[in-house]
Structure 1
Amino acid sequence: MLPQANRLKHRRDFQAVYQKGIRRSGRYFTLRGLRQRPKISNKSIKVRTESIVVSKPPTRIGISISQKVSKKAVVRNRIKRQIRGVLRHLLPRISSGWNLAIIVQPTAVTCDYAEFLRELEQLLAEAEVINGN
């Protein structure tokens, strides 16, 4: 599982990513991404002065897989588990402040973990989401 703070769950968040975000496509996945606005908060210090703290929210990731990929829920769930495993591996390298939606293509049924890793890493690098590339 991905940590709770890194999950994109709500319909309105997915819709915002689809409507306003960038799009990168590969053989097995389509990556949609939208940069989040930084959160600004006023925190008072003991000396009664205010400082403005700007923090980037964590990157949130959602996976969308339709019945067009496979009619069998077992197959779809296996693919989602493999994608989450790849994302756990890549999460430390992903820069913060993004909403990402990963849409699985029907060709992903024949894919294995190494191919998922290679393609997701490539799509994240193209979208300039991964640090260090």
Structure 2
Amino acid sequence: MGLPKVHRLTNWRDFRAVYEGEIRRYSPNLILRALSTAKNNSASEPTKIGISIGKKVSKKAVVRNRIKRQIKGAIRELLPAIAPNWKVVIVVKPSAVKCKYEHFLRELNELLIKTKIINGH
């Protein structure tokens, strides 16, 4: 089961805008890039999240898809705590092939707290 449709970052222009943004946080297996979409007087919109995983991680699509499923599961668990008005791209490093679900959950939580997308309490 993937992310809810309202929380998916799908358009390549949105990915490009996030990559050109200034917020970057690093962990041993993941890179988090974020862009705040909050405006002064606009209504809040849901946070949109995309995952980028290249063939450098693994040449096998089975491995890449397993990693994406694990990351999506971790995001679904953290979704209630995530603040609105953000666009986030999670880039997977090649060292993530050895990781389990719990590692992704912990690293994503730490990265989101560092970025202040999740309140640190």
The equivalent position to 1:89 in structure 2, one of 77, 85, 106, is 77
Runs of 4+ that moved beyond 4 A: none
TM-score (ref. length: structure 1):
0.86
* Shift of residue 37, structure 1, vs aligned partner: 3.2
Which residue does the alignment assign to 2:31? 30
Give the match for residue 2 of structure 1. 3
Q: Does the C-alpha gap of structure 1 residues 35 and 89 become closer, same or farther in structure 2, counting only changes over 3 Å?
A: same
Q: CA deviation at 1:132?
A: 5.0
**Deviation larger for 88-97 or 16-25:** 16-25
Q: 1:97 to 1:123 in 2, by over 3 A?
A: same
Runs of 5+ unmatched residues, structure 1: 41-53
Q: Secondary structure at the match of 2:68?
A: helix
Query: For 2:45, which of 57, 77, 86 is the aligned residue?
Result: 57
Contact 1:79 1:109 in 2 (8 A): yes
Deviation at 1:61, TM superposition (A): 0.1
Cα distance in 2 for residues equivalent to 1:21 and 1:97: 16
Task: State the shift of 1:20 in Å.
Answer: 1.7
* CA shift in 2, pair 1:56/1:27, >3 Å: same
For residues 18-77 of structure 1, give each alpha carbon's deviation from its aligned partner in whole angstroms, at most 9, with x where no partner exists.
11230000000000000013496xxxxxxxxxxxxx311100000000000000000000
Indicate the SS of the match to 1:27. Answer: coil
One-letter amino acid of the structure 2 residue matched with residue 125 of structure 1: I
Distance in 2 (alpha carbons) for counterparts of 1:13 and 1:21: 14
Give the conservation status (yes or no) of the 8 Å contact 1:65–1:104.
Answer: yes
The amino acid of 2:35's aligned partner reads L
TM-score by structure 2 length?
A: 0.94
Higher strand share: 1
CA contact (8 A) 2:113 2:120 kept: no
What runs of 5+ residues in structure 2 fail to find an aligned partner? none
